[in-house]
Amino acid sequence: MTTRTDLSASPLVESRDDLISVFSGGEKPRADWRIGTEHEKFVYRLADHRAPSWDEPGGIRDLLEGLTEFGWKPVLEGGKIIALAGDDGTVSLEPAGQFELSGAPLSNLHESCAESGRHLQQVKAVGDKLRLGFLGLGMWPDKTRAELPIMPKGRYKIMLDHMPRVGSLGLDMMLRTCTIQVNLDYSSEADMVKKFRVGLALQPVATALFANSPFTEGKPNGFKSFRSHIWEDTDPHRTGMLPFVFEDGFGYERYCDYALDVPMYFVFRDGKYIDAAGLSFRDFLDGELSVLPGEKPTVADWNDHLSTAFPEVRLKSFLEMRGADGGRWGRICALPALWVGLLYDDNALDAAWDRVKHWTIEEREALRHAVPAEALDARVPGGGTMRDLAGEVLEIATAGLSARAQLNASGDNESGFLDPLREVVSSGMTFADRLLERYHGEWQGDVSRVYEEYSF
């Protein structure tokens, strides 16, 4: 989740235009389009697989401080180190200590994958000293909520208190899941709209291809991506497939209206988070927010608020693709490859839109609901299975990446980063299927084997 690293003064929101300008201000010419990859992983103690707390010796605080050896600069909240800033973006903490790299905006997938590799090398080097390991899955395979620590970030306490009021699985989202995401640019409002629609309609494809969370508290949970299922019962006011995105007239203003209707979580003032859970940003605009009477929001407040909506695709000054489970290194590179291939080449974007534009709202919702449990076996609108659709989508993405002609020093384009996903389609086996196969086979029901065989 978003970590504030810029504490400088922010201008007041004077009008609705100031809200919309956050979206329009993200417009960039194609030459300036960038790729920002985010990925999370679970941290555990090698000795007993326990999730370390922030302040224990050899815990999360020491891990963050250890990374300063590589040039990362501490980000403090209440005098405590809770994130790092550097040339490769931001290192931050999810609520139970899941470790995240929010990568810098980069020009191509070769750079993005190299960035992920540097980060993993660094955390493993520090982790070796502290006897910590790192696991790339979509959900803790064995931990109960009660077994997990809470990081000392003010926004998390507010969210943890509020989540049980609006859904039964929100605490699991915060404490027990990990994801891979990618942030992508657009050139205009019309370009944003088309990319948003394609990304939203095809987000279940990413969920199926990256399905990697089949265990809960040591047992199969009946899902291939339980992480994705969790979002269906987290908070209906701020999650989902956003049917209005496919309606005529959708654009910046309509998304602004949606975001204004999302209940608030907090306001950040003087280095502290003020609980505003359930309150209205519209009241804030009118100077009638009960926790800050008479005060009006800044642009930074609006950006904070935008980060508290959690639809399958999210708009800020860029688009976030949010449907994938966490995974190991090759999958970290594959997720941005999928979406860059589909959205950053005009012919690929047109082909992808042609494939999904006739789907009804009901069909899109049904597919979103089916995929967490069925993954590649889910039926898709118009007939066929998700495996069939995923194969088509990968062909489109491959063509898009080839057309970009972004070559590395060996002369390879970016399409090779899709290889882990091609293997999923060709085999018909998601990562979750392979984990379940091991669980029912040679692991003999012992989920703890995942630590020795599937860590970074």
| pTM for this entry | 0.97
Residues 18-76 have pLDDT tens digits of: 999 999 999 999 999 999 999 999 999 999 999 999 999 999 999 999 999 999 999 99
Q: Which tokens sit at 262?
A: 């999302």
> Would you say residue 388 lies in a domain?
yes
Minimal CA–CA distance to 28: which of 215, 184, 197, 222? 184
> Would you say residue 330 lies in a domain?
yes
Say yes or no to pLDDT of 284 above 70: yes
pLDDT of residue 6: 67
Alpha-carbon distance of 365 to 357, in angstroms, equals: 14
Alpha-carbon distance of 284 to 297, in angstroms, equals: 6
pLDDT of residue 428: 98
CATH number of residue 113's parent domain: 3.30.590.20
Kindly list the distances between the CA atom of residue 441 and the CA atoms of 280, 431, 446, in Å, as whole numbers in the listed order.
52, 15, 10
Say yes or no to pLDDT of 143 above 80: yes
> Would you say residue 165 lies in a domain?
yes
Among residues of the chain, what percentage have pLDDT more than 70? 98
pLDDT band at 329 (very low <50, low <70, confident <90, very high): confident
pLDDT of residue 80: 97
Say yes or no to pLDDT of 8 above 80: no
**Cβ contacts of residue 411 below 8 Å, gap of 6+?**
none
Mean pLDDT computed over 82-100: 98
pLDDT of residue 310: 98
pLDDT of residue 268: 97
Q: How many CA atoms lie within 13 A of 300 on its CB side?
A: 13
pLDDT of residue 391: 98
Q: Is beta strand 310-311 parallel, antiparallel or unpaired with respect to 239-240?
A: parallel
* Pair 322, 311: CB distance under 8 Å: yes
Say yes or no to pLDDT of 93 above 80: yes
> Would you say residue 6 lies in a domain?
no
Say yes or no to pLDDT of 3 above 90: no
> Would you say residue 61 lies in a domain?
yes
Residues 337-376 have pLDDT tens digits of: 999 999 999 999 999 999 999 999 999 999 999 999 999 9
pLDDT of residue 1: 61
Number of domains in the chain: 1
pLDDT of residue 52: 98
pLDDT of residue 9: 86
For the residues of 153-196, what is the DSSP string, one character each?
A: -HHHHHHHHHHHHH-SSHHHHHHHB-EEEEEE--SSHHHHHHHH
> Would you say residue 80 lies in a domain?
yes
Say yes or no to pLDDT of 113 above 80: yes
Average pLDDT in the chain: 97
Residues 404-425 have pLDDT tens digits of: 999 999 999 999 999 999 999 9
| Residue 403, domain extent | 16-262+309-442
> Would you say residue 299 lies in a domain?
no
